[in-house]
Amino acid sequence: MDSYDTGKTAVAAAGSTAVKRKVAWSSYAARFRELGLLFFIVLLCMIIQLRNPSFLTWDNIQDLVNNTAILSILSVGMMMVIITRGIDLSVGAILALSGMISAMTVSEYPGTPPMLALLLGAVIGIVCGSIIGFLVSKMDLLPIIATLGMMNVYRGLTYLISDGSWVSAHQMSEAFKKLGTGTWLGISYLVWFAVLVYVIAYYFITHTRTGRQIYAVGSNPEAARISGIQMNRILWLVYAIMGGLSGMAGVLWVAKFASAQGDTATGYELSVIAACVVGGVSIAGGVGKLSGVLLGAILLGIINNALPLINVSPFWQMGIQGAIILAAVLINAVIKRGVDRTHLMRRNI
């Protein structure tokens, strides 16, 4: 850069070499975070495989992928929410509510086409999400407060409408259960749904103005306001999308496990948030990639799936998940510091 004079490098050189090495490491980490994550996943798989050879069998892989599909769908929505500097704790509750309503509909009217049930779930989810979006955008509620409150409202509603009872496998039509168990070209519908969601989401966040505005709002809300982006609309939208995806996931979940209960997916939002932060979505907003989120979801899927295989008690799962979230946000923070430092050096006086 010709506009930099030599005086600057002198000051920069004054920084200790230890600092410099850290800088190099962290900016490297930021650039290749997805590769690193992928590498970590491969490593993890190898370790698990060594301890239990039944891990990398076709059946188990299929199982794992199917189990991860729903998580990965939800992570897309959560990514957009977190990019706008928000958070959504109501995911599990919306999932349960829409799963319950659609399961009850299916058991009442066995002729309901599965796609209609899916649509119903999505609509319920969108309504639930829109309410949260309204509270966050128009009423200025902190996302944590709005979603904490509504999470309990939705969870309570699920219990109320089901009167505490379950909808179980024999009350659902075969066609409906196919949604969760059926395959096409040897790959389950769940995975196809996830692929569809990712393709649409990719197009949406990279190739449409509204999609890019999500990033803009998260990266610098002040600038977004000045440049005339309708913040309220964007915030509303991301929570509605999150709700819609949760609603759809609810139907898939109920179809897959062939049961709808009041406590379905309690705390599932935590796995979703974990997938996002592990995938490099910044809690500070503005940053997040679908590829990262997908890898994050896969990593969480593997951990959830493989723990029993290597004789780790399932009771460790929660602790491990929490540790992963914390480690991921801390590592993100440290990398961010390093990158900012690098930028500062470049900007040096």
Partner 1 sequence: MSEYILELNGITKRFSGVKALDHVYFKLKAGEIHALMGENGAGKSTFIKIITGVHEADEGEILLDGQPVNFKNPNEAKRAGIAAIYQHVTCYPDLSVTENIFMGHERIAKGSKRILWKEMHEEAQRLLEELGASFSPKTQMGALSVAEQQIVEIAKALSMDARIIIMDEPTAALSSRESEELYRITEQLRDRGAAIIFISHRFEDMYRLASKVTVFRDSKYIGTWKTDEISKSELIVAMVGREITQLFPKKDVAIGEELLRVEGLGRTGYFADVSFTIHRGEIVGLTGLVGSGRTEVCETLFGIQTPDQGQIWLKGRKTRIKSPAQAMRKGIAYLPEDRQKQGLVLDWSISDNITLPSLWQISRKGWTHKKKEREVAKELAERLGVKARTIFDLVSSLSGGNQQKVVFAKLLAMDIDVLILDEPTKGVDVGAKSAIYEIISELAAQGLGILMVSSEMPEVIGMCDKVLVMREGRITASLDRSELSQENILAAAMAD
Partner 2 sequence: MNSRTIEQKMDFSWRRFFLQWEWMLLAVFIAVNIINANLSDYYLDFTNLRDAMMSFLDKAFIVLPMVLVMIMGDIDISVGSTVALSAVVMADLYNKGVPMVPAMLICLLTGTICGWLNGWLIVRFKELSSVIVTLSTMIIYRGIAYILLEDQAAGGFPSWFSNLGWGYIGSVPIIVVVFVVFAVIFSLLLHKSVLGRWIYAIGNNSTSSRYSGVQVDRIKILVFTLTGFMAAVAALFLTARMGSTRPNIAMGYELEVIAMVVLGGISTSGGKGRMIGAIIAVFLIGYLRYGLGLINVQAQALLIIIGLLLILAVMLPKLKPGNRKQA
Instruction: Catalog residues that contact partner 2 under the rule CB under 8 A.
Output: 87, 135, 139-142, 144-146, 148-153, 155-157, 159-160, 164, 221, 262, 270, 273, 277, 283-284, 313, 315-323, 325-326, 329-330, 333, 336-337
Site residues, partner 1 (CB under 8 A): 1-3, 5, 7-8, 10-12, 14-16, 19, 203, 206-209, 212, 215-216, 218-220, 222-224, 226-229, 282, 286-287, 340-349
Residue 319 contact among partner 1, partner 2, none, beta carbon within 5 to 8 Å by kind: partner 2
> Toward partner 2, which CB reaches closer, 304 or 321?
321
CA separation for the pair 289, 255 (Å, rounded): 29
- Going by C-alpha positions, the residue among 104, 105, 216 that lies closest to residue 163 is 104
**DSSP element (H, E) containing 187:** strand 187-188
Tell me the closest approach of the beta carbon of residue 88 to partner 2, in angstroms: 12
212 binds, among partner 1, partner 2, none (CB under 5 to 8 A by kind): partner 1
Q: Is the Cα dihedral 90, 91, 92, 96 positive or negative?
A: positive
> How far out from the chain centre does Cα 116 lie?
25
Residue 51: contacted member of partner 2, partner 1, none (CB under 5 to 8 Å, by partner type): none
What residue 139 binds from partner 2, partner 1, none (CB within 5 to 8 A, per partner kind)? partner 2
Q: How far apart are CA 37 and CA 331, in angstroms?
A: 12
Nearest-angstrom CA–CA distance, 125 and 331: 33
**At its nearest, how many Å lie between partner 2 and the CB of residue 147?**
10
Nearer to partner 2, 47 or 160 (CB): 160
Q: Which residue's CB is nearer to partner 1, number 214 or number 255?
A: 214
Give the number of other CB atoms < 10 A from CB of residue 168.
13
The distance of closest approach from Cβ of residue 28 to partner 2 in the complex, given in angstroms and rounded to an integer, is 20
**Using an 8 Å Cβ cutoff, are 78 and 315 in contact?**
no
* 243: its two tokens: 């709700």
Q: What is the DSSP string of 283-297?
A: TTSS---HHHHHHHH
